[in-house]
């Protein structure tokens, strides 16, 4: 079966002179990319990295990151893409847990010392590695269940898990995507979401397979994105909802020539219908497409194609129908069977895209994957036409601006402050972020909200820090077993909102 | 992973009311199809057919054939589609070799008695089976390497082989096709080539997966095909070259409203560039696409997309670049390595689409598949951009009107006539058939060409009977080892022709 390097193997033959990636002033062809990835693997081998060993990367979107994404797994090694918004201590957890032997790190990113054997700057250091290395050969073939990458979800605590995605998982996802969006040799894909996230890397294999081009956006900025779309005649992209909103606003305020855009897909968290309407107005030539999925499903589970035509239909709040190649069903908690249309239950996903498991977490894997079905923790229902509607999340997780935040992790940090007696963290509706991280704290003494925020800073990534910390003297509502009833705390914020969750 | 019934499982949920198939006056929705295939499997189980057992079918294109194609493998049984142009004795070979327990046979087809336990008429008998059967459940999942079908190539002799295609093989091919042609829910696929052949069934899974519709053409006729295209707004089809030529002629002579046609793909044997030009003129709105492949590769190996734009380019004679997901290379006979650009060698194919092997023919399998690479027997070269050009066939096979004819089989029949001393059979260029079956015979007495043709009739299918049998008194040219040098016999016919072979 195909591996992560096979798309490039094809592109270097079918389209050697086509531009593989544009990144700032840099333009790299497929022939050049091929030479570069061979040297990259040669360099890694000279450092002593062998098949099965982990190579981590933390940095902004750039052509070098694209090369790592293909070459490291292609060589039989395992890529560990890390969140560049994480703190040094959060990065430390993933680096230790994965046992990475090499870390590629972009300038300006604070990373932990003394964990990884070889730390290589993603700019000049990377280029020096290539310059000094022999052009290596990739393995002729790899078993499909070979690990391709470890993708960390969550943060510093036990909640953080390394999702094992195999070559088969990621290749399957590439075919599932291609079955419902027509990639072509003249596709120009804007990498707008960060590459460590499935939303950023989702189209890499398909784009390379067609010998098509990437346009890299190092850090998201709506005006910069629109300029790239106009300049490079970008035809397709995937963004998270906050980006979608910003792109719509910017384009309506200062229109660019964006008629080249055929696909404006989004995923990562819920989107307000109003945001979709504005995106439709701003980009009238583009198909809007909602992708719902999870890191564990590599990621696509459902696809809402031509969403722009359904914004006034009952399906407007749906995240789409099961993607071709992926089975999706709703489990009726009461019967243990597939739920009837309209009945809410946990969303389950099966297909070749479902992860091999969590790294070194056999118990968590057994709890998450049952008979090949991945339990998303999302609650939803399907209508008579298999449109899926998400209504809540079974897992204690918040999706904010496309990032997953585990409530327990934030709660633990809050509990670490001496003045915190009780703490509960949950998501509340937010026009910009989809959900905002919100905390309710019962203090045991005199403490200000700002003190608690300052306490969180440095311990966890900025996006995990509660946007609001509500102080109360009432004890938190609890179940008989003493469990905090978050549902009761959340309820007043969600009145009049449909809590639609989930993200690619 | 997905099985042959998963596309239908999806379509019955996402598009229950969409028309799955139009066949004459019959229109069947996906909801109806689902009910029918469940009863079909119920009926087969009541006949005692178990998982792994073979169910044969011989008949014209119809909705019932489509149902068998999905339901039999979906139930874990093995479909054996047979060539309806074969004689009873040719059918007998495949029925005996496969050990089929059931044969579905269309009216008017001569089939051998006493071999198969249950013979069921593909019309009323089929409907009676469904009417009397309970609606069964399909297995929830099947291992990917489960046999889905046995596809016979060749004829009555040792040359005839049952190609084992697994669920993985056929599902992989469906994804490979979808990666390069945009199937959509509003696709309307004309099944023009016979369903027993890969050219006929190539798009079934992809079409069903999208909840799109089939339009069935029971027997090819250009005028009938154009009427269906016009009436049902057909958007896509695949034909063999003789059909392509006939469609072009008919449309230029008596134009229909065929603007709905987006894809006019072809495969099965070589096509004259002039035929392609006429097709381009006749169907200006359609993409011409050449698919090259073999039954053993389920079938797609290379794709020539947008061929209409390349008819005046050097690539006009190419059968395209490796399909996405498929590896294609040319083996340099002298070095045993991949040939350099421009160097002729045997064409090898690797991918999840490569057959599991030949049924009960371990030796032939070992000779045909080496380290996952299928040896096509076709000779060709690749240019600098991985465009493949076929120049000859290593195997002693003729492709005529999309059908494979093994020379040895025809030679054996000729040798069966008492007046034949020596016989050599090979293909010669033919404007209508791509290649025509041609024989050179050295008689041992007085015999007329018509006598030999009459001798062949009944023994082998009509399309295998030589169009010309040349009688000569000169002994056939032979190598030192006594092998007939067909190359020398063929040469005068091919002067000025480029022998382009191969077929999907």
Per the CB < 8 A criterion, the answer to whether A326 and A301 are in contact is: yes
User: Residue A10: pLDDT above 50?
Assistant: yes
CATH of B397-494, one of 2.40.10.340, 3.50.50.60, 3.30.300.30, 3.90.1280.20: 3.30.300.30
Q: Three-state secondary structure along B274-291?
A: HHHHHHHHHCCCCEEEEE
How far, in Å, CA of B251 to CA of B257, rounded? 9
Q: Which of A250-259, A270-279, B434-443 has the lowest mean pLDDT?
A: A270-279
pLDDT digits over A200-215, tens only?
Answer: 999 999 999 999 999 9
Q: CB contacts < 8 Å between A and B, how many?
A: 70
Chain B: give the shortest CA distance to residue A325, in Å.
6
Per the CB < 8 A criterion, the answer to whether B501 and B270 are in contact is: yes
A324/B209 CB distance under 8 A: yes
A324/B210 CB distance under 8 A: yes
Three-state SS at A430:
strand
Per the CB < 8 A criterion, the answer to whether A36 and A68 are in contact is: no
B88 CB burial (10 A radius; 0-12, 13-18, 19+):
middle
Q: What is the pLDDT of residue B500?
A: 41
Per the CB < 8 A criterion, the answer to whether A64 and A195 are in contact is: no
Interface test with B, best of A8, A10, A141 (most B CBs within 10 A): A10
For B322, which of A10, A182, A352 is closest by C-beta distance?
Answer: A10
Say whether domain B1-166 belongs to CATH 2.60.120.280: no
A16/B178 CB distance under 8 A: no
In B175-322, beta strands by DSSP E: 188-191, 213-216, 236-239, 263-266, 287-293, 300-304, 321-322
A-contacting residues of B 132-161, CB under 8 Å?
Answer: 141
How far, in Å, CA of B417 to CA of B412, rounded? 9
What is the average pLDDT across A306-328? Answer: 95
pLDDT digits over A458-482, tens only?
Answer: 888 999 999 999 999 988 887 665 5
More confident residue, A22 or B478: A22
- State chain A's mean pLDDT as an integer: 92
A385/B322 CB distance under 8 A: no
How far, in Å, CA of B270 to CA of B276, rounded? 11
User: Residue B456: pLDDT above 80?
Assistant: yes
Chain B: give the shortest CA distance to residue A385, in Å.
5
pLDDT digits over A388-415, tens only?
Answer: 998 876 667 888 988 888 887 888 788 8
Per the CB < 8 A criterion, the answer to whether A397 and A407 are in contact is: yes
The DSSP letter of residue B238 is E
- State chain B's mean pLDDT as an integer: 92
Residue carrying structure tokens 């360099």: A43
Chain A: give the shortest CA distance to residue B294, in Å.
18
A385/B183 CB distance under 8 A: no
How far, in Å, CA of B333 to CA of A222, rounded? 56
What is the average pLDDT across B325-346? Answer: 94
Q: What is the pLDDT of residue B482?
A: 58
What is the average pLDDT across B449-467? Answer: 92
Give the rounded distance of the alpha carbon of A286 from its chain centre: 23
Q: What is the pLDDT of residue A402?
A: 84
The DSSP letter of residue B499 is -
Q: Which of A80-94, A333-347, B343-357, B412-426 has the lowest mean pLDDT?
A: B412-426
At residue B114, φ and ψ (nearest 5 deg) are 75, 10
Question: CA-CA distances (angstroms) from residue A145 to A164, A415, B168?
Answer: 10, 41, 15
How far, in Å, CA of A92 to CA of A358, rounded? 18
In B200-286, beta strands by DSSP E: 213-216, 236-239, 263-266
Residues, chain A: 504
A100/B contact by beta carbon, under 8 A: no
B324/A210 CB distance under 8 A: yes
For A178, which of B7, B179, B321 is closest by C-beta distance?
Answer: B179
Cis-peptide into B248, omega within 30 deg = no
Q: Give the residue from A208, A350, A205, A376 showing the smallest Cα distance to A295.
A: A376
Q: What is the pLDDT of residue B351?
A: 98
The b-or-e profile of A486-503 (16+ CB within 10 A means b, else e) is beebbeebbeeeebbbbb
B366/A contact by beta carbon, under 8 A: no
What's the token pair of residue A271? 């989107």
What is the average pLDDT across B174-198? Answer: 97
| Most confident range, picked from A372-381, B203-212, B239-248, B436-445 | B203-212
Per the CB < 8 A criterion, the answer to whether B452 and B420 are in contact is: yes
B179/A6 CB distance under 8 A: no
Residue carrying structure tokens 């040319």: B330
What's the token pair of residue B280? 């381009």
How far, in Å, CA of B478 to CA of B483, rounded? 5
B119/A contact by beta carbon, under 8 A: no
What is the number of alpha carbons within 13 Å of residue B177 lying toward its C-beta?
A: 34
- When pLDDT is cut at 50, 70 and 90, the band that residue B504 belongs to is very low
| CA angle (A190 as vertex; A188, A192 as ends), nearest 5 | 170
Query: Which residues make Cβ contacts (< 8 Å) with residue A21, sequence separation at least 6?
Result: A27, A28, A33, A63, A66, A213, A214, A215, A216
Parallel, antiparallel or unpaired: strands B369-370 and B357-358: unpaired
More confident residue, B298 or B379: B298
Residue carrying structure tokens 């996405």: B324
Parallel, antiparallel or unpaired: strands A147-153 and A161-166: antiparallel
A209/B179 CB distance under 8 A: yes
What is the number of alpha carbons within 13 Å of residue B86 lying toward its C-beta?
A: 30
What is the average pLDDT across A291-319? Answer: 95
Residue carrying structure tokens 């490079």: A232
Say whether domain A1-165 belongs to CATH 3.30.565.10: no
Taking the domains of chain B in order of start, what are their residue ranges? 1-166, 397-494
User: Residue A490: pLDDT above 90?
Assistant: no
B5/A contact by beta carbon, under 8 A: no
A386/B183 CB distance under 8 A: no
A16/B contact by beta carbon, under 8 A: yes
Q: Give the residue from A156, A23, A95 showing the smallest Cα distance to A104.
A: A95
How far, in Å, CA of B374 to CA of B297, rounded? 8
How far, in Å, CA of A396 to CA of A375, rounded? 14
How far, in Å, CA of A242 to CA of A54, rounded? 32
Q: What is the pLDDT of residue B503?
A: 38
Q: Taking CA atoms, what residue in B is nearest to A354?
A: B1
Q: Taking CA atoms, what residue in B is nearest to A171?
A: B325
Helix residue ranges per DSSP H, B15-123: 30-46, 63-74, 88-98
B-contacting residues of A 181-220, CB under 8 Å?
Answer: 182-183, 206, 209-210
- In sequence order, the β-bridge partners of residue B79 are B55, B149
Residue carrying structure tokens 């309820």: A491
User: Residue A154: pLDDT above 80?
Assistant: no
How far, in Å, CA of B399 to CA of B2, rounded? 33
User: Residue B499: pLDDT above 50?
Assistant: no
For B13, which of A15, A141, A386 is closest by C-beta distance?
Answer: A386
B385/A contact by beta carbon, under 8 A: yes
Chain B: give the shortest CA distance to residue A7, in Å.
8
How far, in Å, CA of B249 to CA of B188, rounded? 23
Taking contacts as CB-CB distances below 8 angstroms, the residues of chain A near B353 are: none
For A175, which of B6, B16, B179 is closest by C-beta distance?
Answer: B179
pLDDT digits over A413-462, tens only?
Answer: 888 898 988 889 999 998 888 899 999 999 988 899 999 999 999 888 99
Taking contacts as CB-CB distances below 8 angstroms, the residues of chain A near B206 are: 179
Q: Taking CA atoms, what residue in A is nearest to B341?
A: A13
Q: What is the pLDDT of residue A499?
A: 42
Cis-peptide into B299, omega within 30 deg = yes
User: Residue A187: pLDDT above 90?
Assistant: yes
Taking contacts as CB-CB distances below 8 angstroms, the residues of chain A near B385 are: 13-16
Per the CB < 8 A criterion, the answer to whether B423 and B413 are in contact is: no
- When pLDDT is cut at 50, 70 and 90, the band that residue A158 belongs to is low
Taking contacts as CB-CB distances below 8 angstroms, the residues of chain A near B210 are: 324
B386/A contact by beta carbon, under 8 A: yes
The contacts found for B305-308 with CB under 8 angstroms, 24 or more apart, are: B305/B180, B307/B276, B308/B276, B308/B279, B308/B280
How far, in Å, CA of B219 to CA of A228, rounded? 53
Q: What is the pLDDT of residue B444?
A: 83
B30/A contact by beta carbon, under 8 A: no
Q: What is the pLDDT of residue A497?
A: 63
Q: What is the pLDDT of residue B342?
A: 95
What's the token pair of residue A418? 């001496």
How far, in Å, CA of A216 to CA of A225, rounded? 9
How far, in Å, CA of B45 to CA of B48, rounded? 5
Q: What is the pLDDT of residue B333?
A: 82
| Most confident range, picked from A67-76, A464-473, B240-249 | A67-76
B481 C-beta neighbours (distance < 10 Å), count: 5
- When pLDDT is cut at 50, 70 and 90, the band that residue B480 belongs to is low
Q: What is the pLDDT of residue A399?
A: 86
Query: Helices A6-14 and A30-46: crossing angle, nearest 10°?
Result: 140
Parallel, antiparallel or unpaired: strands B357-358 and B161-166: antiparallel
The contacts found for B491-500 with CB under 8 angstroms, 24 or more apart, are: B493/B428, B493/B429, B493/B438, B494/B428, B494/B429, B497/B429, B498/B317, B498/B391, B499/B270, B499/B391, B499/B392, B499/B429, B500/B270, B500/B317, B500/B319, B500/B389, B500/B390, B500/B391
pLDDT digits over B56-100, tens only?
Answer: 999 999 999 999 999 999 999 999 999 988 889 889 999 999 999
């Amino acid at each position: 079966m195909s591996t992560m390097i096979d798309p490039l193997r094809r592109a270097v033959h079918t389209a050697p002179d086509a531009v593989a990636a544009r990144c700032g002033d840099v333009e790299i062809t497929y022939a050049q990319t091929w030479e570069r990835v061979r040297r990259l693997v040669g360099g890694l081998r000279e450092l002593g990295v062998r098949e099965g060993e982990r190579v981590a990367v933390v940095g902004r979107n750039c052509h070098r990151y694209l090369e790592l994404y293909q070459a490291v797994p292609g060589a039989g090694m395992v890529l560990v893409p890390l969140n560049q918004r994480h703190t040094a201590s959060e990065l430390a957890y993933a680096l230790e847990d994965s046992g990475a032997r090499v870390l590629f790190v972009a300038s300006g990113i604070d990373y932990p010392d003394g964990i990884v054997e070889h730390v290589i700057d993603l700019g000049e250091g990377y280029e020096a590695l290539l310059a000094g290395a022999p052009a290596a050969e990739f393995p002729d073939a790899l078993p499909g269940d070979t690990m391709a990458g470890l993708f960390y979800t969550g943060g510093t605590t036990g909640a953080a898990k390394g999702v094992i995605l195999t070559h088969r998982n990621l290749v399957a996802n590439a075919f599932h995507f291609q079955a419902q969006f027509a990639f072509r040799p003249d596709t120009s894909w804007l990498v707008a979401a960060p590459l460590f996230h499935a939303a950023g890397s989702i189209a890499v294999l398909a784009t390379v397979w067609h010998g098509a081009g990437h346009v890299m956006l190092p850090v998201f900025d709506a005006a910069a994105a629109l300029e790239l779309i106009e300049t490079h005649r970008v035809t397709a992209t995937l963004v998270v909802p906050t980006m979608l909103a910003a792109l719509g606003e910017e384009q309506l305020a200062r229109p660019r020539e964006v008629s080249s855009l055929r696909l404006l897909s989004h995923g990562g968290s819920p989107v307000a219908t109003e945001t979709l309407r504005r995106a439709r107005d701003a980009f009238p030539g583009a198909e809007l497409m909602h992708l719902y999925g999870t890191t564990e499903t590599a990621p696509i589970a459902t696809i809402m194609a031509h969403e722009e035509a359904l914004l006034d239909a009952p399906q407007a709040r749906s995240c789409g129908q099961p993607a071709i190649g992926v089975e999706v069903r709703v489990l009726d908690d009461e019967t243990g069977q597939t739920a009837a249309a309209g009945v809410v239950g946990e969303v389950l996903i099966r297909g070749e895209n479902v992860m091999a498991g969590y790294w070194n977490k056999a118990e968590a894997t057994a709890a998450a994957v049952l008979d090949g079905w991945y339990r998303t923790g999302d609650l939803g229902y399907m209508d008579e036409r298999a449109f899926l509607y998400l209504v809540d999340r079974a897992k204690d997780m918040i999706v904010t601006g496309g990032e997953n935040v585990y409530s327990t992790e934030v709660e633990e940090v809050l509990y670490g402050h001496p003045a915190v007696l009780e703490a509960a963290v949950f998501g509340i509706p937010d026009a910009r972020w989809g959900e905002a991280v919100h905390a309710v704290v019962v203090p045991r003494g005199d403490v200000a909200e700002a003190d608690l925020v300052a306490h969180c800073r440095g311990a966890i990534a900025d996006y995990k820090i509660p946007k609001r910390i509500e102080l109360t003297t009432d004890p938190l509502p609890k179940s008989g077993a003493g469990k905090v009833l978050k549902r009761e705390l959340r309820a007043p914020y969600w009145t009049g909102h449909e809590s639609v969750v989930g993200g690619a």
